[in-house]
Amino acid sequence: MNPNTEFKTSASDFFSSLQDKICRGLEAIDGQTTFRQDLWQREGGGGGRTRVLEEGGVFEKAGVNFSVVHGELPEILAKQMATQLHAKLGKENVGVEAGRGFFATGVSLVLHPHNPYVPTVHANFRYFEQGELRWFGGGADITPYYGFHEDVSHFHRTLKAACDKHNASFYPKYKKWCDEYFYIKHRQQMRGAGGIFFDYLTENLEQTFAFVRDAGEAFLPAYLPIVERRKDLLYGERERDFQLIRRGRYVEFNLVYDRGTTFGLQTNGRTESILMSLPTLAKWVYDYQPEPNSPEAEAWEFYQPQNWA
Catalytic residues, by residue number, are: 122
Residue 275 DSSP class: G
Taking only Cα atoms into account, the Rg of the chain, rounded to an integer number of angstroms, comes to 19
Whole-angstrom distance, CA of residue 100 vs CA of residue 31 = 45
CA distances from 78 to 5, 75, 81, 198, 258 (A): 22, 5, 5, 20, 17
230 contacts 5 by C-beta, under 8 angstroms = no
DSSP 8-state code for residue 292: T
Specify whether the CB–CB gap between 59 and 51 falls below 8 A. no
Rounded CA-CA distance 58/112 in Å is 9
> CA-CA distances (angstroms) from residue 45 to 69, 100, 101?
6, 14, 11
